[in-house]
Amino acid sequence: MAFELPKDINENKFFGKKTEDNEHAYMPTVIVGPDGKTPISEVNKFPVADTAAHQKLDAVVNEQQALKNQLAGIIDGSTPATSQLTGSNIEKGVVEYFVAEQIRDTTTRRVNKNTSKYRPLTFYARNTLDSEVELWFSLGMIYGDKGLQYWDGEQFVRGYNKKVVLPANTDDYIVINSIETYLDYIETTKLQVNLYASSTPTSGDLTIFAIGQNN
C-alpha cells in the first residue's frame, strides 16, 4: 500500500523525514508568501521586517538632511558658522566699518569700533570707487592712557604713520592684514579706521569690515 504525503492548501506536497528519535517530521516542499499562495522566489522575496535597521537608516537620512540644511543656511547667511576645536565651539564675528559707502568727496572719514570682543581680527576692503583710497589705522589704548606702536621692519611706529592705498575700481576684496601684518596679533580695546579718497570719486562704493574670533 502506497503512503500519500500530506499536502498544504495549495496542493503542495510535504516531504517526510524520520528524526533521530524515530519520529516523523514533514516539511513543505514549497514555501509561499504572506498571501498564502505565491511561492517565495527571486521575484517574490520573503519580506523580513527589521525595525531596528529601519530606525537606524531613518536616523542617518535625517542627520544628512539636517547637515544639508545647516550648510545651506551658512551659505545664504541665515545660520551662523561655528568651528569646533578640541571640544569647544569657536564663533566668528563681523565688525563693520564701512558698508557700500558711496563716497563723493575727499574728506577724511574716521570710524572707531570696540574690538575687545574679538581676537584676532582680519580686515577686508573692497573699493569700487573710481578713485584710490588711502587708509590707515589708529590703535586704541590697551593700558592706561598710552597708545600703541608696532615694528614696521625698520623701527617702531604708530599705526597712523603708515598708509595703505586701496586701488580704484577693484571688485575683489583685499586682505589688509597681508600688508599690515601687526593686525594678526595686536590686542586693543578699540581700533579706528581712517581714510580719504585721493581724488573726488564719481561712481562706486567702499566696504571695509573685519572678521574675528569671538572671545
**157 & 116 share domain:** yes
Please determine, for residue 99, whether its predicted confidence score (pLDDT) is greater than 80.
Answer: yes
116 and 159 in a single domain? The answer is yes
Whether 84 is in a domain gets the answer no
Q: In terms of domains, do 111 and 189 share one?
A: yes
Mark whether 37 and 106 lie in a shared domain: no
How many of the other CB atoms lie within 10 Å of CB of 139? 21
Residues 150 and 162 in one domain: yes
In one-letter notation, the amino acid at residue 153 is G
Please count the structural domains in the chain: 3
Q: What number of residues does the chain have?
A: 215
Domain around 27 = 1-48
Question: Do both 198 and 185 map to the same domain?
Answer: yes
Q: Which cell is 130 given?
A: 573710481
Residue of higher predicted confidence among 211 and 149: 211
Identify whether 11 is part of a domain.
yes
- What pLDDT is recorded for position 118? 79
Tell me the pLDDT tens digit for each residue of 74-87. Answer: 556 666 555 544 44
- Same domain (yes/no): 99, 112: yes
208 with 194, same domain: the answer is yes
Calpha distance 176→137 (Å, rounded): 11
Residues 6 or more apart whose Cβ sits within 8 Å of residue 27: 14, 15, 17
CATH number at residue 170: 2.60.120.380
101 and 196 fall within a common domain: yes
pLDDT in tens, 33-92: 667 677 767 666 666 666 666 676 777 677 777 776 766 665 566 665 555 444 445 567
Domain assignment of residue 87, yes or no: no
Tens of pLDDT, residue by residue over 100-120, are: 999 999 999 999 888 888 778
Average pLDDT in the 94-98 region? 88
What pLDDT, on the 0 to 100 scale, is given for residue 132? Answer: 96
Indicate if 55 and 132 belong to the same structural domain.
no
